[in-house]
Amino acid sequence: MKVGIIGVGLMGHGIAKNVLVRGGYPLAFLDHPGNQPVDDLVDLGATACKTPGDVADVSDVIILCVTGSPQVEAILTGDAGVLPRLRRGTIIVDCSTALPESTLRMAAAVRAAGGSFLDAPMTRTARHAEEGTLNLLVGGDEADFQSVRAVLAAFTESLERVGPVTFGHRLKLLHNYVSIGFMALLSEAAAQAADAGVDPAVFVDVLAKGGGAGVALQRLAPAIVAGDVETVPFFIANALKDINYYRTMAGTSGACGTIADGVAGAMAAVVESGHGQAYIPELARLLRKQQPAA
């Protein structure tokens, strides 16, 4: 089975490496300025392609690992895109974080072109991508899932089909809303504690021994206590995008969005102040009344 990947960024690089090394599959990738350095992939036998259509020409499975719905739609339907050159039976696996309504349209377009579509967003971080221990939430047909299961297993620890097409992206947005929401709330509390002169180590210890314990605290504690923001290498602007995707999904269904609106508002103010490319643990500093030097 020949694998293509479009989007060799922080997450996609680890996916690509593990498809090659752990999976042993031939790999083609889109040569793009947004990629991480790819010399190691080329040394392992990966082939660079100039356009998404070129990737489609040589792939039985195409993994998409890009920012969001506009990028997915452009890759599939744009000039020199995947769909006009899709080989019959090719399976598109969209590991991006995307809007369910867009996912439905793209899945229909892929089927019309003779292929199949799985939405398979991931949880965990770039470190887990490099280690091959991502968690994947897969929406789509069971037979399609089983046909590419071995490819996906090459870069995952947990691999689960969660329902039909869109259910992967729906659950990813729910997951990211909760995860990012926890970190935003914790960051605001940490900022208030710092402004009040509370020892950050004491603040973290009190939460860890009570109801504030959890993954969000574990990930943000190094930033709160020691200013180490590398534990969650995820841009605030991308986190805001995910929260807004969740708000769109919730709004379409008529669900309550009061808390999500508050999280989005706080993060939008940080992005508008010019800090969208800061990692999300930096919120603990950026939400302070008087920000200390970086």
Nearest CA-CA partner of 30 in 67, 61, 57, 4? 4
Burial class (CB in 10 A: 0-12, 13-18, 19+), 133: middle
Query: Of 2, 17, 172, 289, which is the active-site residue?
Result: 172
Distances (CA, A) of 246 to 15, 158, 173, 274, 275: 25, 23, 5, 23, 21
Distance CA 141, CA 108 (A): 13
Distance CA 35, CA 47 (A): 14
Has 172 been annotated as catalytic?
yes
Known catalytic residues are 172
